[in-house]
Structure 1
Amino acid sequence: MGTKVRACGLVALLSGLGWLGPVQALDWSSTLALESAYSYESGDWQKNSVTWRPQIVGRLGYGTKVTAEGLVRVDVEDNLDPGQPSQPFRARDSRAYFPNDLTDLELRELYLDHYLGSAFIRIGRQQIVWGQADGLRVLDVINPLTYREFIMPDLEERRVPLWSAQAEIPVSGWTVQLVWVPDGSVTESMLPGATYALFEDPFDGQGEFRVNRPESGRQGDGGLRASAFAGGWDLTLNYLFHTVDDPLVQVDPVAMVTTFNYNRSHLFGATAARAFGSLTLRGEIGSESQRRYAQAGYQGWQSTRETSYVVGLDYSVSGDLLLSAQLFQRWRHQADADLERHREQLTFLARQELMNDALIMELLTIYDVQDQEALSQLSANYRVSSRWELSAGGDVFSGDRSGTFGRFHDSSRIYIGAMLSW
């Protein structure tokens, strides 16, 4: 019933745009991707999927544009998000639809772009991206993430689009962006049974999981960003009042209940980037007024103010080779003996373009300093023609099996794929 209501709502929304005038142009594009991933440590197929992504862009009167993008995916292995999940981490109107165990349908994006004088407005289901860091999030926290394939896909694929609104207004050499997000969806952790489940079931299927996420509309997020180019620097100043999407997990052994709780926080931050010839320096910093962490046994918690930053250096060795390194540090200001005061991660990226950019090879490594563990990703993408692209690669986890990366040692994989665009 809920799916029918959402479908009718989308039709009503598109029909209601008629007051902006008739459709002046309609552009259609689509991609069809075939992907297979094999976990060589366990000897199991992780996925064998077909994904269709249609997109329609309609241009209306008065410079208005409407964009809609959908996703239809069939995965015959059904290991990454088994069955027909209830999606407790998503608000009702942001959920996918699972007609059976192997198929999921999702409205990825549906938004309207419009100019009011010099102000730009976008309203609808969308991604709003902040920050300068590659892969590591400091300020890029407006949209929650899905951990369906942990952190292997690009951030654009892992962000959960939200129903939201943004406006960009030029003010005295600056561009001020106002953001409002009434959607109550939070980071989508895979529950026990999935390949990349982040939490183990302490009650072996006999207990209950509860997700106390914020209520859509009444507990929305809001913020602003001011950006400018000054003295050769790209600068931004950021503020966001939001729900911290990463959960505080608590376990009640008597009631046999595992609860995911969330807290509200003020996030203040800034970014800066500048190119010095073939060298680019990037920096990003953010300070949360409150983050909550579970204590041992998940039966208590502590609260702390937290500051995170990323410093990145990109070096273009030639027009075809890029080397990049980043240092990420998280500093907890009120940590007690059960919580580490600080944590660091290092990233290294090498990207080589060959054959007139038809072939792109990339190596990305993320290393956790405290746990001495890593995720290494090697990929190759070959554009056969303007429509066909082939890909292959591997994702390798290393480190102690109790760590963030090492726990997925047996899920290290190799993969191949093909994508058709039209």
Structure 2
Amino acid sequence: MMRKIPEISILSAVIVVSLISVSFTADNSIYYNRTKGNKSNRTFLERLKDEINSMDIYFKGEAKYSYFCYQTKSEYTLNDRREIDFNPELKWYLNKKLFLLINGNIRYDFDSTSRSRVVPSELNFTYTGEAVDVILGKQFITWGRADSYKAVDVFKRHDLTDPVENIEETLWALKLGFSFKESNIEFVLIPFFEEDEMPDNSDSRWFFLPRTKNIPGVGDVNLSYSYDYSKLPPKDLSSSSFGVRYNGRNEGLDYSFTYAFSYDRAPVQYLNSIMSFNPVLKSSEVKILPVYNRINVLGIDCATVIAGIGLKSEIAKVMPEASADLDSSMTLSYYRFNLGLDKDFGSVFANINLFIIVQYLYDSGYSAGDLSLRHIFRHALAGKIELKLSEWVILDLKSFNNLEYFDSLLQPEITWKGIENISIVLGADILQGNETGLFGRFKDNTRIRLEAKIYF
């Protein structure tokens, strides 16, 4: 369960500003740069309108409706899920080099209300100079060059309440960049810890704790859970993180060296204790204590193109700090690695374009059966095949195959963009295989999904 900072009031102000900016234009894609008129003998509202219209503002956004239909019915939780997302974005240029970015996320889940929220997805000031870049506020921080799994991407937060969607999240940070001729260096400072959102609500189909347990002499016992967040790092400077990244380029090779002092943002271990047990009702309450840990991470990533084939690779050494709260096996150093190839074949038949990505993923950390969603790809192969049938129709097949546990996720989908600013996606998430792995464990969550987006 993620702790929230007071953000609803901020987003309310965002929405008000956004609506005001839209109300004075018929075309929201126009760049505003209007001269101020004579303000004599004008009402306050007329003067306010002039002030707003003189600002340099962009406004855009998207609205999305999603529907998921699960093929296996569950006695514990929902069998269908419907969701609406609204994401307005306001970019206000205060001068040629400085702008304010406000990107809100309003999500309402009709069937799993614990996923509903109203938050600013991005809220930051961005300064872009000739040699210095600064971003201050709520922002995405992405390290790495791979197409899906990024071994060196240590700061990115995730909304894992639906692990297959795996929505990327922002965090509060200061990012400084200094550019040179063929290189740049980036510093990141994160003032306090923000964790991933986990599927720890028992009404979720992705709830990862056992709902029953067989006790000798009693039989199957129904389990309920409560959470103790006393081990969650405090939201103050004592839980701050920082990192540095050097980017260079040499004869067609892009490369980076990174160091980060951060946290595993998903719990690395769940401690548990039995709070109560009723042998008559065959029920038991279990208290869960999520434990997070500090990590030091050294990383290298690179990308190049050889004979028209894109090559991308990353490797990171993760060094957890010792902790009295953790099993010693959870504080051993480990490696994350990925190697990817991609090729755009262009038109292969009757103006049908083909694009392929293949990526190998490796994670040496943690033993089989642990509950950390950070370490599901211990030895895996991922891929994507994209067929562009026309400007309006695209066929995709994505796959994630765990070679250690022999479980997999297949995601076939078709995207239609026949009307300007509208896209419709029909697809499926097919989970199968050994129940030791993540996808095999949740193979009953195979589903069909429909997504409709409107861009404005």
What band does the TM-score fall into relative to the shorter chain?
Answer: 0.7 to 0.9
For the 8 Å contact 1:138–1:284, the answer to whether it is kept is yes
Post-superposition CA distance 1:95-137 (Å, at most 9, x none): xxxxxxxx42121111111135520111110111111222223
Please, what is the CA RMSD of the aligned residues? 3.2
Match for residue 370 of structure 1?
404
Residue from 205, 220, 223 that aligns with 1:195? 205
Q: Tell me how far apart the structure 1 counterparts of residues 183 and 304 of structure 2 sit (CA, whole Å).
A: 17
Match for residue 240 of structure 1?
260
Match for residue 354 of structure 1?
389
SS in 2 for 1:197: coil
The one-letter amino acid of 1:188's match is E
Match for residue 99 of structure 1?
none
Residue from 404, 408, 411 that aligns with 2:442? 408
Match for residue 283 of structure 1?
313
For the 8 Å contact 1:291–1:305, the answer to whether it is kept is no
Q: Tell me how far apart the structure 2 counterparts of residues 8 and 131 of structure 1 sit (CA, whole Å).
A: 31
SS in 2 for 1:133: coil
Residue from 144, 156, 180 that aligns with 1:143? 156
- Go from structure 1 to structure 2 and tell me whether the alpha carbon gap of 1:271 and 1:300 turns closer, same or farther (over 3 Å shift): closer
The one-letter amino acid of 2:363's match is R
- Go from structure 1 to structure 2 and tell me whether the alpha carbon gap of 1:60 and 1:46 turns closer, same or farther (over 3 Å shift): same
For the 8 Å contact 1:269–1:285, the answer to whether it is kept is yes
SS in 1 for 2:165: coil
Mapping for residues 115-154 of structure 1, pairs under 5 Å: 115-153=128-166
Q: Tell me how far apart the structure 2 counterparts of residues 150 and 9 of structure 1 sit (CA, whole Å).
A: 26
Q: 40-49 or 365-374: which moved more?
A: 40-49
SS in 2 for 1:210: coil
Post-superposition CA distance 1:259-289 (Å, at most 9, x none): 1111111100111111123211111000011
Match for residue 265 of structure 1?
295
The one-letter amino acid of 1:316's match is D
Mapping for residues 13-412 of structure 1, pairs under 5 Å: 24-42=55-73, 45-78=79-112, 82-83=113-114, 103-153=116-166, 158-171=167-180, 173-191=182-200, 192-200=202-210, 204-205=223-224, 207-210=226-229, 212-216=231-235, 217-254=237-274, 256-290=286-320, 302-319=330-347, 320-332=353-365, 343-356=378-391, 358-412=392-446
Q: Tell me how far apart the structure 1 counterparts of residues 367 and 398 of structure 2 sit (CA, whole Å).
A: 34
The one-letter amino acid of 1:374's match is S
SS in 2 for 1:159: strand
SS in 2 for 1:410: helix
Match for residue 91 of structure 1?
none
TM-score by structure 1 length? 0.82
What percent identity do the matched residue pairs reach?
Answer: 16
- What is the deviation of 1:151? 2.8
Post-superposition CA distance 1:308-341 (Å, at most 9, x none): 1101111222252111111111235xx899999x
- Go from structure 1 to structure 2 and tell me whether the alpha carbon gap of 1:70 and 1:287 turns closer, same or farther (over 3 Å shift): same
TM-score by structure 2 length? 0.76
Q: Tell me how far apart the structure 1 counterparts of residues 98 and 367 of structure 2 sit (CA, whole Å).
A: 53
For the 8 Å contact 2:394–2:415, the answer to whether it is kept is yes
Q: Tell me how far apart the structure 2 counterparts of residues 396 and 361 of structure 1 sit (CA, whole Å).
A: 16
Q: Tell me how far apart the structure 2 counterparts of residues 132 and 25 of structure 1 sit (CA, whole Å).
A: 33
- What is the deviation of 1:239? 0.8
Q: Tell me how far apart the structure 1 counterparts of residues 198 and 314 of structure 2 sit (CA, whole Å).
A: 26
- What is the deviation of 1:307? 1.0
The one-letter amino acid of 2:290's match is F
For the 8 Å contact 1:314–1:323, the answer to whether it is kept is yes
Match for residue 94 of structure 1?
none
The one-letter amino acid of 1:397's match is L
- What is the deviation of 1:46? 2.9
Match for residue 89 of structure 1?
none
Q: Tell me how far apart the structure 2 counterparts of residues 391 and 243 of structure 1 sit (CA, whole Å).
A: 35
For the 8 Å contact 1:244–1:291, the answer to whether it is kept is no
Structure 2, unmatched stretches of 5+, are 18-50, 213-221, 276-285, 348-352
- Go from structure 1 to structure 2 and tell me whether the alpha carbon gap of 1:177 and 1:272 turns closer, same or farther (over 3 Å shift): same
SS in 1 for 2:443: helix
- Go from structure 1 to structure 2 and tell me whether the alpha carbon gap of 1:37 and 1:337 turns closer, same or farther (over 3 Å shift): closer
Q: Give the aligned length.
A: 384
SS in 1 for 2:169: coil
Q: Radius of gyration: which is bigger? A: 2
Post-superposition CA distance 1:333-389 (Å, at most 9, x none): xx899999x931111210111213x22211111011111100111111111222111
The one-letter amino acid of 1:326's match is Q
Q: 301-310 or 250-259: which moved more?
A: 250-259
For the 8 Å contact 1:284–1:310, the answer to whether it is kept is yes
For the 8 Å contact 1:291–1:306, the answer to whether it is kept is no
Q: Tell me how far apart the structure 2 counterparts of residues 338 and 150 of structure 1 sit (CA, whole Å).
A: 17
Q: Tell me how far apart the structure 2 counterparts of residues 251 and 135 of structure 1 sit (CA, whole Å).
A: 31
